[in-house]
Amino acid sequence: MAFDHSKYIPFQPVRKTDRRWPDKVIEKAPDWCAVDLRDGNQALVKPMTVAQKQRLFDLLVKVGFKQIEIGFPAASQPDFDFCRKLIEENRIPDDVRIQVLTQARPELIERTYQALEGAKRAIVHVYNSTSTVQREQVFGMDREGIKQIAVNGARLVQEIAARYPDTDWTFQYSPESFTGTELDYAAEVIDAVTEVWRPDQGQKVIINLPATVEMATPNVFADQIEWICDNIQRREHVSISVHTHNDRGCGVAAGELAVMAGADRVEGTLMGNGERTGNMDLVTMAMNLYSQGIDPKVDMSNMAEITDVVEACTEISTHPRHPYAGELVFTAFSGSHQDAIRKCLAYRKEGDKWNVAYLPIDPKDLGRRYEEVVRINSQSGKGGVAHVLERDYKISLPRWLQIEFSQCVQKEAETHGGEIDSHTIHRLFEDRYLAVDNAWRLTTYDLHRDEEGVNATVKFGQPAIELKGHGLGAVEAVVAALQDTYGITLAVEAYDEFALGEGTNANALACIRIVVDGEIRSSAALAEDTTSATLQALLSAVGNHVGAPESVAAATA
């Protein structure tokens, strides 16, 4: 059988009895390092052009990243050229540190420093692979041999840096494939590197622990990070960084748990582009912090610009459900969600803490509009349809009509499939409820109240028909006139009138539901005043049932 799980080896958990990280809460943003221009770029079908790199670099600076890995200049001429361009054209703000990657090989380290000549401050990121599988199968070297590569690389990084004293250097070491490395051995290599660099004597040092491949659940990664933090020498003098990949879909979770476990710094890419299933997504992790009331120290408020630039530079489109950034992430189609969101937004007062059902953050914080939140398809209910009419056309419907009309919208959605826009919903409402047959168009009305009630005269149609009736109120009086004239049995089941908000031509909306000769008819009308609207709605509802008024009048005469 090809699909055979027994071929895989379960990842061995870390044996740990002093686990503290599960009780920790993240209270501040880690130091961020954006690796879009290096790790992200290495994973693209078509690597970025210099112009694309520049555009993405400028965006990263604008968003507020202070550490940006810009490439692997010793391995790629375009990366070398881009690095030179940034330095020579003075495009790196003073508070931003560029970072470049190099393998721990002498000729590559040498060339890396050539790329960085003239930089005011920079991070030289040196790595070699330390996992069991790479030692045994790729390099054919033992633990000592692999450690020696790291130590030699660290020495050379230090030696060459000394030739450029005008640059403020930070050294970074990554035991690549850390997640597949025995922890005691990883600590041994890290200690050997920091023994060369001596962060305790003032050298700025970052130790970056990559989940080059995400091999286990994020709690296991957190255990690995906590273990390293507890067991390396000179811990307090180094910045512990994590660099997670997303092979199991938990890159962000692993990054977050690693921060709980003691990591000071997190590397990732905007929207998570990177090798295989991607790098840790900086947008998601930063916005997760923001949604907990923590300043993420990067500004994602122009999310449309972020997605535009990332899409243009990576040529990868954003998934519509991408956390915080996707087109649909603030949209509810489901009726119960729409209803709850609508009620919470109405309940909320300016200045309140954000506490809205189904919306973990305020869409406005990311430049989105509440208008996008409620969208209608066949899954939507009365609340959503009512919300759209109210929001876009200032038409409020009574509950009974919301229920009736939403069924009509649902039918339309089922017939055509997909989404129904606000314009179509309004047109359906007009056609079904507001349309007035000229034969039943109200021209004038006259109401006189005496001790016994109201005497009503209504004129409608062309040529005009005039009816007179008496009742306790205006509606009752006209109902009586219609019953007498057309020989129908007519009862009003519900009616509601609303004054309309600014921005509409009419001042009033009336909605009515009648039972006429045992059949239910509903109608609505817009008019200058509420009485006209109500009488018109009544005439329209009766008209729907009886057809042309003259013919019925003639028939009943």
In the complex with Zn ion, the residue whose CB is nearer, 36 or 39, is: 39
In the complex with Zn ion, the residue whose CB is nearer, 39 or 226, is: 39
Residue 368 contact partner, candidates Zn ion, ligand KIV, none, CB within 5 to 8 A by sort of partner: none
Buried b (16+ CB within 10 A) or exposed e, 285-313: bbbbbbeeeeebbbebeebeebbebbeeb
In the complex with ligand KIV, the residue whose CB is nearer, 206 or 374, is: 206
Determine the residue with CB nearest Zn ion: 39
- Binding-site members are 39, 243, 245, 279
Q: What is the largest CA-CA distance in the chain?
A: 112
Give every CB contact of residue 170 below 8 A, 6+ residues apart in sequence: 97, 121, 122, 123, 124, 204, 205, 206
Residue 174 contact partner, candidates ligand KIV, Zn ion, none, CB within 5 to 8 A by sort of partner: ligand KIV
Q: How far is the CB of 153 from Zn ion (least distance, A)?
A: 18
Angle at 470 between CA 468 and CA 475, to 5 degrees: 90
Please give the span between the terminal C-alpha atoms of the chain, in angstroms, as a whole number: 86
Bridge-based pairing state of the strands 465-471 and 453-460: antiparallel
CA atoms within 13 A on the CB side of 502: 0
- Footprint on this chain of ligand KIV (rule: CB under 6 A): 39, 101, 127, 174, 176, 208, 210, 212, 243, 245
In the complex with Zn ion, the residue whose CB is nearer, 32 or 433, is: 32
Residue 127 contact partner, candidates ligand KIV, Zn ion, none, CB within 5 to 8 A by sort of partner: ligand KIV
In the complex with Zn ion, the residue whose CB is nearer, 39 or 214, is: 39
* Alpha helices, DSSP H, located in 10-131: 41-42, 50-63, 77-88, 106-116
Q: Are 110 and 160 in contact (CB under 8 A)?
A: yes
Residue 181 contact partner, candidates ligand KIV, Zn ion, none, CB within 5 to 8 A by sort of partner: none
Residue 257 contact partner, candidates Zn ion, ligand KIV, none, CB within 5 to 8 A by sort of partner: none
In the complex with Zn ion, the residue whose CB is nearer, 276 or 364, is: 276
Q: How far is the CB of 368 from Zn ion (least distance, A)?
A: 31
CA–CA gap between residue 240 and residue 206 (Å, rounded): 6
Q: How far is the CB of 244 from ligand KIV (least distance, A)?
A: 8
Residue 176 contact partner, candidates Zn ion, ligand KIV, none, CB within 5 to 8 A by sort of partner: ligand KIV
Q: Are 69 and 76 in contact (CB under 8 A)?
A: no
Question: Would the CA dihedral through 131, 137, 139, 144 be positive or negative?
Answer: positive
Question: Would the CA dihedral through 24, 29, 31, 34 be positive or negative?
Answer: positive
Please name which of 321, 289, 287 lies closest in space to residue 28, comparing C-alpha atoms: 289
Please name which of 14, 34, 10 lies closest in space to residue 178, comparing C-alpha atoms: 14
In the complex with ligand KIV, the residue whose CB is nearer, 208 or 224, is: 208
Q: How far is the CB of 130 from Zn ion (least distance, A)?
A: 14
Q: How far is the CB of 212 from ligand KIV (least distance, A)?
A: 3
Residue 153 contact partner, candidates ligand KIV, Zn ion, none, CB within 5 to 8 A by sort of partner: none
- Binding-site members for Mg(2+) are 39, 243, 245, 279
- Footprint on this chain of Zn ion (rule: CB under 5 A): 39
